[in-house]
Structure 1
Amino acid sequence: MYRSLLGHQNIDFSGVLGLNLRYRLFSDSCSALQALCNFNSTHPLVLAILEWLVLLGRRGRKVTFCWVPAHVGVDGNERADALAKAVVSNSRPPARHHPVPAVDLRPYIDATVRSCWQDRWDAVGANKLRDIRQRLGLWSYSGLSRRWETALVRLRIGHTLLTHGFLMERAHPPYCDDCLVPLTVRHLIVKCPSLGDLRRRHLSEYRKGDGSYSLSQVLGEEACSVGGNTLSYVEEAGLLQKL
């Protein structure tokens, strides 16, 4: 996490072996400066800078670190940034390359894996869960009962005992008694006209302009948590025990 700042500080140390005996180094990163106080650190850049400090001390040089709070709104900020960039981009020989610790690579690897995972999820065709959750991420806990949490997972993946129990019984797929169409989670939650009154009473805030309902909202985190109305709809429809 300190690689950018400590790397620049390491570059600066290569020019401290001049005629002056005292040097002062300013930084707005308190965490990076605190890292230099840890003599038991295993971070390669911290160790490299500490080695420089020992070498400079033996040659009679004294380096003082000074923490400058984040300079938002402080006069001279742009000028200081320009000077810092000029120092980094000057014509001096490049600093030694140090191995990157695994902990510094983890955020990059994590972001790359998540990006690839999201790309694969975006490329998925017809999928019940993807219709509800387009962006990958952790689901939050609803704060309600364990029974509801279990039922909610089944509703979101589109596989419940009521709609898919026939697979274990080797029976025929169930149909809605009123509509004579295949019984699915989408039909039960947002389509079946027989449940229209219940739907309008409990889920009216998720009703779209054309009178239809958004399944992704009805089974989303807000509607299914404490204060949401999806559980009350499912309970009054007599579905909770059948999922």
Structure 2
Amino acid sequence: MSALQVLRQSRTPMDNVQLTTAILSHIQGLAAQGRCVRFNWVPSHVGLHGNEAADEAAWETTRHPAVALNILPSIHGTKVLARRAAVCAAGQQYRQLVQTSRQAAWHKQTTDNNEPLHPAQQLSRAEEVVLHRLRLGCGILEELRDEFEDQPCEHCPHLARRPLAHYLLSCPVTVRLRQRVGPLEDAAALVLRQVQENLPLLLEVARASPPPR
């Protein structure tokens, strides 16, 4: 029935484009000759002589040598192939970036297969920025300067060469984030990866004591 519906619809076919177009072209050619083509749907496998004969003829063709036909992919199939190619190219570019970018390497450690966060509540723009900066491992502006020295922490007296790593690994205000991670020797990015399973806790700590910027 679906094949007849495709032939009856007025819009451009989405699947089996070449086959459908060829059938419609033949129908139009016969109509131009004054002939009328009529399709009748009949139930299959109920003993109708004509339908059984058609099934037998179709089965007989499977015993003949295979014939290769170059059929253009459907629009849907083309879109699927394009999406797969885009995902593959993006993944390859991301893997190359991880080798050369510290922030990309940090992001790979803090995420699971590059999965986005799915907070249970609506976040403000400021909260989204904080989480984004943490997941990217964004350092403070002074770290980009050649004369950068140890930076005092905003939440404790400690002087840190890497303020964000100190914030996650040893600052007292984030001790609750480290309870499930283990030894402080673990990479700071792994702290974020573990604690993202408890996103409300991460948000609570980041709101009360924002990370360095």
TM-score, normalised with respect to structure 1? 0.55
**What are the ranges of 5 or more consecutive residues in structure 1 without an aligned counterpart?**
1-25, 69-82
Distance 1:86 1:144 in 2: 61
The answer for the alignment partner of 1:51 in structure 2 is 25
AA aligned to 2:10 is F
RMSD: 4.1
Corresponding residue pairs, total = 183
Q: Which of the numbers 200, 207, 211 marks the counterpart of 1:235?
A: 207
Contact 1:158 1:184 in 2 (8 A): no
SS at match of 1:108: helix
The answer for the alignment partner of 1:91 in structure 2 is 64
Instruction: Specify whether residues 61 and 102 from structure 1 end up closer, same or farther in structure 2 by C-alpha distance, changes over 3 A only.
Output: closer
Distance 1:153 1:132 in 2: 11
SS at match of 1:63: coil
1:192 aligns to 2:170 (yes or no)? yes
Contact 1:128 1:156 in 2 (8 A): yes
Distance 1:102 1:40 in 2: 13
1:150 aligns to 2:150 (yes or no)? no
Identity among equivalent pairs (%): 16
TM-fit CA distance, 1:88: 7.5
The answer for the alignment partner of 1:217 in structure 2 is 194
Instruction: Specify whether residues 173 and 89 from structure 1 end up closer, same or farther in structure 2 by C-alpha distance, changes over 3 A only.
Output: farther
Instruction: Specify whether residues 42 and 60 from structure 1 end up closer, same or farther in structure 2 by C-alpha distance, changes over 3 A only.
Output: closer
The answer for the alignment partner of 2:87 in structure 1 is 114
- Deviation string 1:158-191 (CA, Å, 9 cap, x unpaired) is 11xxx422157765144455554423434312x1
Contact 1:203 1:233 in 2 (8 A): no
Distance 2:110 2:116 in 1: 13
**What are the ranges of 5 or more consecutive residues in structure 2 without an aligned counterpart?**
45-55
AA aligned to 1:48 is A
Distance 2:13 2:82 in 1: 21
AA aligned to 2:210 is L
Instruction: Specify whether residues 193 and 95 from structure 1 end up closer, same or farther in structure 2 by C-alpha distance, changes over 3 A only.
Output: closer
The answer for the alignment partner of 1:129 in structure 2 is 107
TM-fit CA distance, 1:47: 2.4
1:64 aligns to 2:37 (yes or no)? no
AA aligned to 1:172 is F
Distance 1:67 1:155 in 2: 62
TM-fit CA distance, 1:234: 1.4
TM-fit CA distance, 1:130: 1.5
Structure in which a larger fraction of residues adopt helix: 2
Contact 2:110 2:135 in 1 (8 A): yes
- Deviation string 1:82-114 (CA, Å, 9 cap, x unpaired) is x9x967844277486443355531211221221
Distance 1:55 1:92 in 2: 30
The answer for the alignment partner of 2:140 in structure 1 is 164
